[in-house]
Amino acid sequence: MALCLCSVVYRWEQGRRLFQGQVRPVCPRRTVVTGGSDGIGKAYAFELAGRGLNVVILSRTKDKLDRVALEIGETTGQKVKVIVADFTEDDMYEHIEENLKGLNISVLVNNVGILPSHIPCKFLQTKDLEQRITKVINCNVKALVKMCQIVLPGMEKRGKGVIVNISSGVASVPSPMYTMYCASKVFVERFSQGLQAEYKAKRVMIQAVAPFGVSTPMTGYQKSNMVTLTAEDFVRTSLEYLQAGDKTYGSICHTVLGWMVQAVPQQILHSETMQDSLLEYVKKRVGT
């Protein structure tokens, strides 16, 4: 255990030094963040703008986008472009591509994602299941692939770039009550790892980031602590792991939690008792 922890610390320090030493050449001009008006996406937009990049943020609500753009501009002095896009639909990618045309995009953060249900539940108990299936696949899977299709050619041509794809710690193991969400995040990880193998020689870094608890609207703004991090703290930490491999949990505490979850026998994690306990815990945390 101590050896594993030392390995994580070493990789964190390696990633921190490499990132600090290559901020300008790796990320010289523009970053694109999907789901950039809230939570982790907003935190990435702020953090990368603070490091000298102009920002493009995409989300479905223009008022929120405009407010965040104003905040980023006033706080960092960087230029911010907004693109209204509802990623639960699938008819806006020509619009996105047109708005990104001609931009030197150095960083893409595929953050946008949704839960099938606010409260964890079994697959067939999901409200409006047919609609939710389509929305989850569009938002959690198709959006990531299409954004890579739009942005990656420019990175390949320039011979540099960074793509960060937000997965989830729940994808570490099969997760009952989060089955559809978990499966969509497994796709994020495998797609990221395969894509990194394909384009590493082109000096494009592609990484899946798999956080556990982060205090965001999706998690009901859970109170932050040693394990549940604020979005800002998580993003700052995760960027230190940028060159530490094709998948990271984004922080030491989440890495250790990932080890612990994977060490628990699946018959315990998948028991009806555990599923009932999870449901009760989440209901209490979100106040329902």
The answer to the question of residue 73 being in a domain is yes
Write down the pLDDT at residue 185: 97
Residue 181 bears catalytic tag: yes
Distance CA 159, CA 284 (A): 49
Token reading at 241 = 């792991």
Instruction: Supply the pLDDT for residue 18.
Output: 41
Residue 201: both structure tokens together: 């020689």
Strand partners, 110: 165
Label residues 137-169 b or e (16+ Cβ within 10 Å = b).
bbbbbbbbebbbebbbebbeeeebbbbbbbbbb
268: tokens are 């315990």
The answer to whether residues 34 and 147 touch, using CB atoms and an 8 Å cutoff, is: yes
Count of structural domains within the chain: 1
Q: Answer yes or no: are the C-beta atoms of 168 and 211 closer than 8 Å.
A: yes
Residue 106 has phi, psi (to 5 degrees) of -95, -30
Task: Evaluate whether 219 touches 210 at the Cβ level (below 8 Å).
Answer: no
Residue 55 lies in a domain: yes
In a domain, 166, yes or no: yes
Domain membership of residue 209 (yes or no) is yes
Q: Does 9 reside within a domain? A: no
Residue 10 lies in a domain: no
In a domain, 7, yes or no: no
**Would you state the structure tokens that stand for residue 149, as one six-digit string?**
């299709």
Q: What is the per-residue pLDDT for 53?
A: 96
Q: Which amino acid appears at position 174 of this protein?
A: P
The pLDDT value recorded for residue 13 is 53
C-alpha 112/C-alpha 2 separation (Å) is 35
Q: Determine the pLDDT at residue 228.
A: 77
| Contact in structure between 208 and 165 (CB atoms under 8 Å) | yes
Per the structure block, which two tokens stand in for 247?
């998948």
How far, in Å, CA of 161 to CA of 143, rounded? 19
98: domain CATH number is 3.40.50.720
Cα(first)–Cα(last) distance of the chain, in Å? Answer: 38
> How do strand 204-209 and strand 105-110 relate by DSSP bridges?
unpaired
The series of mean pLDDT values per 10 residues for the chain, 288 residues long, is 50 47 52 96 97 97 98 97 97 97 97 92 95 98 99 97 96 91 97 98 97 72 70 92 90 83 80 77 63
Give bridge partners of residue 162 from the DSSP assignment: 107, 205
Domain that holds residue 69: 17-286
Half-sphere exposure of 112 (CA within 13 A, CB side): 30
The single residue of 178, 181, 241, 249 carrying the catalytic annotation is: 181
Q: How far apart are CA 21 and CA 23, in angstroms?
A: 6
Tokens 């008022």 sit on residue: 63
